[in-house]
Structure 1
Amino acid sequence: MSMRGIRGATTIDQNEAEHIWERAKQLLIEMIDQNDVVPDQVVHIWFTVTTDINAAFPAKATRMLSGDWSVVPVMCATEIPVPNSLPNCIRVMMTVNTEKTAEEIQHVFREKAVQLRPDLVIDKTRK
C-alpha cells in the first residue's frame, strides 16, 4: 500500500455558505467515487480557497458525506493571491493510503476549474 494524493478543484458562483458546501461536497463525492476511497484510507484532506471565498469553510462538506467521514482530519487555508489566477476556486488535496499506482489515480476538476489542469480532466464522453 502506498500513500497517494488525489487532486480536485471546483469553482463557485456565489459566496454563500450553502453553495460553497454543495460544490465542495459534489467535488468530494466525485473524487471518492472515481478512486474507490473509504474514510479509513484517508490520511487527511486539505482545502484551499481563493481570497474571494469567505462565507464558509468548504471542509465542512466532508462532514455532510454519508459514511464515517467525521474521523477524517480536514483543514482549510487561503490560496496565494497570484495575479490573474482563477477566482472563486476551491482546491482539494486528499491524501489516501491505496493500492492504486500514481497513474491510476483520477484527479477531478469541475466547473471553471477544468482549465487549471486540462491534461488531468477525463473526457467522460469517450470510452
Structure 2
Amino acid sequence: MKKSTIFILFLILILVFSGGLFSKKHQENVEREAFLKEESPRIEQFLKYNYININKVTFTHVKVSPMGIPYIEGYINDDKELAFSASIFEDHFERSISIPKQVGEWSKYEVDKSVTEIQQEKNKNP
C-alpha cells in the first residue's frame, strides 16, 4: 500500500475514535444534567426543611465516587464556604449529606427528617 493510503486510513480511524469519545462524553453530560434536574429539588427541600437560615441552594457538580455512588455538590446562600455533598444511595436522595459545622448548628430538629418523611408530613397537612 502506498504511504498516502495508509495515512488516510489512519486519519479516518482517528476521526472515528475521537467522534466516539465526543459522543460518549456528551451522553454522560446529558445523563448528569437529567440526574441533577431530578434530585436537586429533593436536596433543596431537605435542606430548607431541616435547617434555618437557608435561602438559596446552588448546585455545582454531579460526580460518581470510586465505589459507584453518585453525589451532588453545591453550596448554600451564595457562600462557597458553606459547601455540601449529597450522596444518593438508593433511587433518590433521602438524607445522606455532608455539610459544614456552621450549617449543622442551624438544625431545626435533633434528627434530620428524610425527604420521604417530609413529603408524607406535607401530604397529611395540606
Tell me the TM-score normalized by structure 2.
Answer: 0.41
- Higher strand residue share: 1
Bigger Rg over Cα: 2
- Higher helix residue share: 2
Tell me the TM-score normalized by structure 1.
Answer: 0.41
